[in-house]
Structure 1
Amino acid sequence: MPRAHQVEIFFSILYRRLLKHGVFTSEHDLAEQMLAFIETYNQAAKPFKWTYTGKVLEA
């Protein structure tokens, strides 16, 4: 499986923690909840632990 880029990992977290079970009354409500999630997430975020060894892939 190819490595995911950091932004893909973040959107996966956003989906699992907010969007999957969220209830939004309007687009504005969705935007407000997403911004609140991002603000909270940024306060507690820790760097991702990368495990890729750097080995060259064989063709």
Structure 2
Amino acid sequence: MLEQGIHLISTDEMTGIQALERLFPNKRIKPKQVEKIEFEYERHGTLSLIANWDVARGKVVSPSIGPTRTE
């Protein structure tokens, strides 16, 4: 597509992403055991992710993350 002078950008928005912070670190695993992940967390609101995908190059162009709008 680039050889033909065509630039195609695909834009997608993902809203309502929860910003979570784990209160405690994960426990270290021993050989042949499953990792234990802490389940307690603190909420930091929600975020929106807007990503612009350059189709021909296969790369993300100028992604942005911001607070979710409440209109």
Q: Shorter-chain TM-score category?
A: under 0.3
**Structure number, greater radius of gyration:** 2
Could you state the TM-score of these two structures normalised by the residue count of structure 2? 0.22
Could you state the TM-score of these two structures normalised by the residue count of structure 1? 0.24
Higher share of residues assigned strand? 2
Higher share of residues assigned helix? 1
Structure ranking higher on relative contact order (CA contacts 8 Å, 6+ apart): 2
